[in-house]
Amino acid sequence: LGGALWIALATAEKELGLPIEQKQIDQMKAKQFDIDFEYAKEQEKKLRHDVMSHIHTFGKACPDAAPIIHLGATSCFITDNTELTQIKKSLLEVQKKLVRVIDVLKNMVLKYKDMPTLGFTHYQPAQLTTVGKRASLWLQDFVFDLHQVDKLIEELPFRGVKGTTGTQASYLALFNNDSKKVKELDAKVAALMGFSKTIGVSGQTYTRKIDFMVCSVLSGIAQSANKMANDIRLLMNLREVEEPFGKNQVGSSAMAYKRNPMRSERVCSLARYVISLTANAAHTHATQWFERTLDDSANRR
């Protein structure tokens, strides 16, 4: 995404009057995916800086554009905007899969809405319910999760062009203190990258509160999946439901008659991990110093 961001930045800067030639942008577009990773590796070893190594690598691939690559930007223009773009694309994939889960559960609810089964409270026999009614509890949780995913996708901002400490000072210098043009630049770059809004204020990075918000929404989905899978595991012990079992599948090396809830156990295992990530994101946001620190680089990756 680095190449796409540099192209978007140069395109918007040219449109707003900076001395950038179309042939420079065309060369960047032509070489966007022509990345010499070995050269980038050499540069990073030499410069000890990931973004600068790729600036040099991209400049080597398109020498006419080298003087205007990354013009006015800081490293977080690349790293943070890339991460927010990846987050948005990933959330759109989660949204699609969540809709599919909801559709499958809706069909189950309707198919078994009249099939009676024993309800449990405190895992003790209670009044009757139906198989479909019980599944509707799982369905409702996922619908709540979908609402949160929809809201997050709608509200997720782009970092945009904010400069080294969030003051846009480098861009103001480029545009002779014309703040209107700098605001236009911010909006244009965001639009070119598929975002309708940028974050209102930032330090060098976008606020890590956003990472916590994303992890919280994913945690909610994991919670719903874990609750459903736990119920299925218990119902399998009662022989009320079964997971698919292959013709040649073996339940146990010692007890071949067993039909372990393997799929549901995997769901619970993964869900537990996803739920745990919220604490990591919370500590990352809580311990950021002033405009940014980089003590979060390993755990965020």
Q: Is 2 helix (H, G, I), strand (E, B) or coil?
A: helix
Which one of the listed residues 90, 179, 196, 252 is annotated catalytic? 252
Print the SS3 string covering 188-214: HHHHHCCCCCECCCCCCCCCCHHHHHH
Q: Residue holding tokens 């987050």?
A: 87
Q: Is 58 exposed, middle or buried (0-12, 13-18, 19+ CB in 10 A)?
A: buried
| Token pair in block for residue 23 | 């042939």
Q: How far is CA 75 from CA 5, 130, 134, 165, 170, in A?
A: 11, 57, 51, 11, 13
Q: How far is CA 266 from CA 105, 164, 277, in A?
A: 19, 44, 17
| Distance separating alpha carbons of residues 103 and 97, to the nearest angstrom | 10
In angstroms and rounded to an integer, the radius of gyration of the C-alpha atoms of the chain is 26
Q: How far is CA 221 from CA 89, 95, 134, 141, 153, in A?
A: 17, 11, 18, 8, 15
Residue 124, phi then psi, degrees to nearest 5: -115, 145
Query: Would you call 70 a catalytic residue per the annotation?
Result: no
Residue 69, phi then psi, degrees to nearest 5: -65, 130
Residues annotated as catalytic are 122, 252
